[in-house]
Structure 1
Amino acid sequence: MSKTFTAKDVAEHKDEKNGMYIIVDNGVYDIATFLDEHPGGAKILKRMAGKNATKQFWKYHGKSVLEKYGGKLKVGDLAETAKL
């Protein structure tokens, strides 16, 4: 069973020591081990750590990128929250 995270949980993971989590759609990904591999450099990943990166991710990446790397980086799913 996949672990579920709130946006607050993700926000607590924004450095390499605690893990660097981002949200893309409803998935939560730990990008700390991907910093050196990222073609756009580590700087942008560090800037997005702890945040919802959905808009930025889809602006620069296609579905194939998430399919290729998502499986090894995904740590869980975003908990559903009530939208008022």
Structure 2
Amino acid sequence: MSKQFTKAEVAQHKDEANGIYIIVDNGVYDVTKFLDEHPGGSRILKRVAGKDASKQFWKYHGKHVLEKYGPKLKVGEVKAEAKL
């Protein structure tokens, strides 16, 4: 079972000291070590650090990108939050 994160926990990972995490769909990805490899540059990843980047990700990437890089960057899933 993969680790479960709340959106608030992911939001704490927005700099290199704490790790840079992003959310794509329901997956949580640690892109800290991928910053220098990202073809679009590290600034783009830092801009969405700690946030849900699904909309931006799918705008510029196809499914094959997530299939290629996702398994080595994925650290968990966003846990469903109770709706009151």
Residue aligning to 2:67: 67
Which amino acid is 1:33 matched to? K
Residue aligning to 1:8: 8
Aligned length: 84
- TM-score normalised to the size of structure 1? 0.96
- Counterpart Cα distance in 1 of 2:61 and 2:81: 26
Give 5+ residue unaligned stretches, structure 1. none
- Counterpart Cα distance in 1 of 2:57 and 2:82: 24
Deviations 1:9-58 (A, max 9, x none): 00000011111000000000000000000000000000110000000000
- Give the superposition deviation at 1:81: 1.9
Residue aligning to 2:43: 43
Instruction: Find runs of 4+ consecutive structure 1 residues off by over 2 angstroms.
Output: none
Residue aligning to 2:30: 30
Aligned residues: CA RMSD: 1.0
- Counterpart Cα distance in 1 of 2:83 and 2:64: 30
Residue identity over aligned pairs, in percent, reads: 74
Which amino acid is 2:70 matched to? G
Give 5+ residue unaligned stretches, structure 2. none
SS at match of 2:52: coil
- Give the superposition deviation at 1:82: 3.5
